[in-house]
Structure 1
Amino acid sequence: MPASTPKALYSPCEIRHLALIVNLENDPTASLLEETQPFDLGKLDVFSFGKQEQCLIGSVDLLYRNSWNEVRTLHFTGSQAVLEALKTILGKMHQDAQPPESVDVFCYSEHLRGLIQTRLQQLVSECINLRLSSTRQESHRFKALRISGQTWGLFFERLSVSVQKLENAVEFYGAISNNKLNGIPIQLNAEQDHLPQIIDGSASEGIIQFFFENADKGFNIYILDELNRVEVYLNCQGCIEELVCDVSRFYASSHERFTYGSGSVNFNLPQFYQIVYTDGEASIIPFNSNSISPLSAPTVPITKKDIMLSHTF
């Protein structure tokens, strides 16, 4: 192996070649023959498989060479081995680094070897791309992962990548808001006085709703989940469009249905609305990039029926 150049030694360390060795020590697929229920390979989720939502990756060994020509190995085992390996890989990549010259996945599973290898290769490549492609203008990106029946959020910041477990919809949207905006979070019931009265007539169970309201110092956000539980952020400073994009990205990258505890929650496409005031009269309009200003869109009140129709189609 050639010696590192002085330029490389003076520069931040970067991963040059990366290999992931999967299920060499712990192979959950070895017991798949005991399953009597047939499954569709096209819909199979290797990270949360079957009724037990078992991750089919039980161990991950990382082998990588860095720009200083050091060779390192790391070992992860257990149901969260994939998540721990991802956190480690992304944590060793600063945002201005060059992408690795090669990323290889070697799978030693008894069953579904090709599928596991392909899905993990896709996941690692996507996360590396998210980490290295963010810019100063777009310094917040998000990736949702469902592993062993638990939902995790990877938040790609300018200086780091953070991981947060997301138990329910309110917790997720709170995490997104905390990462995207500076505000004061308040949790309350829909009956409390902090909630504008106009929202009471528009709240609808079964869908997730965001209501944006201009304030003296920035804007307020009212988040209602499928059960009409409310989280409020007052006097926020930030970009609403980026928040909307991240929430939509979470939906697009997540399962259509999540299970929390003993019950199921239908994870519907979130709805976004703007509260506007005309001559002191409040009304709600569908959110778009121009609706932040009260003068930029017609102030036609929206009804609960309108919300249900927009959700249906």
Structure 2
Amino acid sequence: MRQNLMACQKLQKIPRAWVDSMSKFDIYETVTNLIVQRLEAGVIPWHMPWKTASAIPRNLVSKKPYRGFNFWYLLSFGFERPYFLSFKQVQDLDGKIKKGSSSFMIVFWKMVEYEKDDETKEIPMLRYYRVFHIDDIEGIDPDKIPENTAHDHDFDPIASCEQLIQFWSDSPVIKLDQKKACYIPSLDEIHMPGARTFFQDEEYYSTIFHECVHATGARKRLNRHERFSSLNFADSGYSQEEMVAEMGAAYLCGICGIENATIDNSAAYIQGWLKKLKSDKKFIVIASGLAQKAVDYILDHQDSNPKPVLPEPKKKKSKSASLSMKF
């Protein structure tokens, strides 16, 4: 139903020397620098709001939305019209790029083969191409550019949030009326304070979406917590898993039509992520990919039979403690 974050294209056989030469241009470092520039400008890409699904950055020709890093990076510029084209696509549509226009990097994975010690090896390589925003292109038939459409009057954002949670077919048990919001891996449970304890509905759903994304990492789902155990956020507020949850929750808020009400735009928050990104050039690429997979998992496991979200009856505290992933 949905493609992987950055689909691996058809295998291509290449000489080892060519693989080695690719290290001269570090795409990971370039991508990280792009996000660092946005943060230093005071823009947090994974906190960018968008009001409708039509505002999601997408390719004008294929109509497919950009995903992973590409999605957040393009969204952070806040374009009113969300369409982009490659240079070749502009030419094919008899368009012309305006003088002085800037392009935007789009990254993707490509599987390549190479010979080493008389053996054929296969590795994924991060590649890129560039696109231009529709406002920087002239000469394209206006009829080929869709207009942005808002949700109709019958659309209920809160109902869409409830449906997303309750129709998740293999969701963890969700218990309300708890003291704090957290996901407990050992029990596969999400604990949430009651909805009425939040100042606004958007804050409640932003929080529960955050915990739902954490829950996708369980062994029986995406197994992210074990496969990336060294990147768990339990020892740091600025970890891979926390970034995955933040990005994933923001995406779920967007597709349900609500604003992420739990965002932190403080200088300390921005500096914390800047420090992390500058110390690990692969951080943002990996995190955005894992977040996309988490969102895809929840969307792809929607059932026709809703699962109840019930208050937790009062009971005595257990003597045993369980590790929890706090919001």
Q: Compare the two structures and name the one with the higher strand fraction.
A: 1
Give the TM-score, by structure 1 length.
0.29
Q: Which has the higher contact order (CA 8 A, sep 6+)?
A: 2
Give the TM-score, by structure 2 length.
0.28
